[in-house]
């Protein structure tokens, strides 16, 4: 795999750019979204760079399991374990950072308006 040196989330993983880390495990880290869409809005990313969730699932199911376990842990800590976990895949779906990330959203009654 080529080194994604221009990847923002790789820089958060490496610690070369600061961000507020709210949880981590062997293969994943969690940090707050800079533009929160809910009282709890945390991004959970694998430490290794993959573009999207399907690529991650095919290449490293263990890392995907760690991403999901960390999302659950963050939600238990911050939103009583009730949350939405979203992976945008592709620009049309709203993906703007191509290092796979799950959005953990919670802390209020969530609506359903993906438009
Ligand atoms: P996407 O649109 O790819 O699904 O999600 C990317 C997310 O990354 C957005 O919700 C956006 O607010 C967040 N984001 C973009 N730049 C930064 C940043 O510099 N720091 C943090 N913490 N989040 C960011
Ligand atoms: Zn990356």
What residue ranges define each of the domains in the chain, with the CATH number in brackets?
A: 8-106 (3.30.428.10)
List the catalytic residues. 101
Q: Give, in order, the Cα–Cα distances in Å from 102 to each of 3, 10, 72.
A: 21, 15, 11
pLDDT per residue of the chain (115 residues) written in tens, 0 to 9: 555 669 999 999 999 999 999 999 999 999 999 999 999 999 999 999 999 999 999 999 999 999 999 999 999 999 999 999 999 999 999 999 999 999 999 999 999 987 7
Mutate to test the pocket of ligand 1, among 22, 43, 50 (most ligand atoms within 8 A of CB): 43
- Which residue intervals of the chain are DSSP H helices? 8-14, 53-59, 61-79
User: Does the Cβ of 31 fall within 6 Å of ligand 1?
Assistant: yes
pTM: 0.96
Question: In the beta sheet, which residues pair with residue 63?
Answer: none
């Amino acid at each position: 795999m080529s080194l994604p040196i221009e990847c923002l989330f790789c820089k958060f993983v490496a610690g070369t750019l600061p961000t507020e880390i709210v949880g981590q495990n062997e293969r994943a880290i969690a940090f707050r979204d800079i533009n929160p869409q809910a009282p709890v809005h945390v991004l959970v990313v694998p430490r290794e760079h993959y573009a999207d969730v399907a690529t991650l699932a095919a290449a490293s199911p263990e890392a995907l399991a760690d991403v999901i376990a960390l999302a659950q842990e963050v939600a238990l800590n911050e939103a009583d374990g009730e949350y939405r976990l979203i992976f945008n895949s592709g620009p049309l779906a709203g993906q703007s950072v191509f290092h796979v990330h799950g959005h953990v959203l919670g802390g209020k009654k969530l609506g359903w308006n993906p438009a």
